[in-house]
Chain A
Amino acid sequence: MRRMHGTLVFSLCLALLFCYASAARAESSSSSGTPTVAHLDFRITIPTILYLQVGTSGATLDLVTFTVANLPGTGPVAGTSSGANPVPVRVAALVGAAATATLRADSSTALTDGASHNIPFNQISWTATAPFTSNTFSGAANQQLDQFTGPGDHQGTYSFSYANANYYPTGTYNGAVTYTLSSP
């Protein structure tokens, strides 16, 4: 009889301990004890973003002007932008680690004076600061200028020059280049 009584008390203690432990674990974000812990989960959702800037930021298109003062063949003419000089260039990409972001230019429409006289864009070159590449417009619709791999923010500048290597009728020639940043 004494043994049975002892066994019963022991069982009650176990039951009380079980109840206390269950209460302490009842809330995974709230518990009691010394010390006690709680958790908080975090989630960050990052989208794919491609950002391209050529010229000053904003909606206005910058205009790079070359004013020729000497005969063709006497050296290139440096351009002056209506915005910042040299022209700011920024390529920012939130893309996959192995994904590429490719900068291309469409210079297929030649500069024109409005009187059927044209100057092809292959007369215009630029000197770039890293990480961008110096080059000359090809006059093609899909000229690749630079390519970057993975997410990153790339900033540099372009300084344009006109070759002034050919004879054209006097006048003011205007044209536009369209830059495109794409990621497959």
Chain B
Amino acid sequence: MGESARISILARCRHVPALGLLMGLFCLPMDLYAQGRVVAQEPLDIVIMAASHLSLRIGTTGGTIDRVSFTVAQLPGSGAVAGVSSGAYPVPVRASSTPSGATKVLTADSSTPLNDGFGHTIPFTQISWTGAGGVPSGTFTGSSNQQIWTGTASLGSGATMSFFYANTVYVPPGTYSGRVTYTLSSP
């Protein structure tokens, strides 16, 4: 590995916007040289594709944020309660990028529990979803940076989430509201 390898790395990495990452890849062969650990010299092709444009939609198209509602009718412990959306249901998920093959990571911030406005809360860990069309199923962790999905493909038609409320906690009657923020990023 010599100049050809480094040149190849540089040539392939011209799409990487982060200068730090570029410098790190460039310096790697030099470090190996310094330690005398390079035993073969082969051209090294590394392609890291970062998106320059990302698009994300959770719910129906339009300016209104969809709301998934759960109406409890039984005691806690008697089974999960399926959600009903103010928009399309199951909730559509669309995630895409330019270039289309860029690595994408979808995360959720569910760190603020649902509340009834009177100091009573329900943690988002009570809400799960069944994914379809490439969306994995899961349960909110109540954290600010839960990874929901990652991939290089897009989430398109057929990608949906169906939500459920576990209904295992005893809380005062009322209407509890909360919001989850989804973030689509490209490393």
Contact = CB atoms under 8 A, between A and B. Distances in A.
Given A28-B63, A44-B175, A34 B55 contact: no
Interface in B40-69: 51-69
Contact of A36 (B54, B70, B75, B83): B54
Given A49-B75, A97-B120, A40 B170 contact: no
Contacts of B60: 29
B170 A41 contact: no
A151 B180 contact: no
Given A44-B114, A46-B172, A153-B76, A35 B68 contact: no
Given A34-B51, A34-B185, A35-B185, A29 B58 contact: yes
B73 A47 contact: yes
Contact of A29 (B66, B83, B170): B66
Helix, strand, loop or mixed for chain B's interface? strand
A40 B179 contact: yes
B9 interface: no
Given A39-B181, A41-B66, A34 B54 contact: yes
Nearest to A32: B55
A94 B170 contact: yes
Helix, strand, loop or mixed for chain A's interface? strand
Given A94-B171, A96-B173, A34 B53 contact: yes
Contacts, number: 164
A41 B73 contact: no
A36 B65 contact: no
Interface in A88-126: 92-97, 99
A41 B70 CA distance: 11
B75 A94 contact: yes
Nearest to B176: A44
Interface residues of B, number: 55
A168 interface: no
Contacts of B124: 42
B173 A95 contact: yes
A30 interface: yes
A14 B54 CA distance: 23
B25 interface: no
B184 interface: yes
Interface in B94-140: 94, 114, 120, 122, 124, 126-127
Interface string A136-158: 00000000000000111100000
Nearest to A38: B58
Contacts of B170: 92-94, 151-153
B15 to A, nearest CB: 13
10 pairs of A and B residues whose beta carbons are closest in the complex? A35-B185, A30-B57, A151-B170, A41-B67, A38-B58, A44-B176, A43-B69, A48-B173, A44-B70, A36-B54
Interface of A: 26-49, 51, 92-97, 99, 150-153
Interface of B: 51-77, 83, 91, 94, 114, 120, 122, 124, 126-127, 163, 165, 170-186
9 contacts: A27-B61, A32-B53, A34-B53, A35-B183, A40-B67, A41-B68, A44-B70, A46-B173, A93-B170
Given A37-B181, A39-B58, A46-B72, 20 more contacts: A26-B63, A27-B61, A29-B57, A30-B55, A30-B57, A34-B186, A35-B54, A35-B186, A38-B56, A39-B181, A40-B58, A40-B180, A42-B68, A42-B70, A42-B177, A43-B67, A44-B122, A93-B170, A95-B173, A97-B120
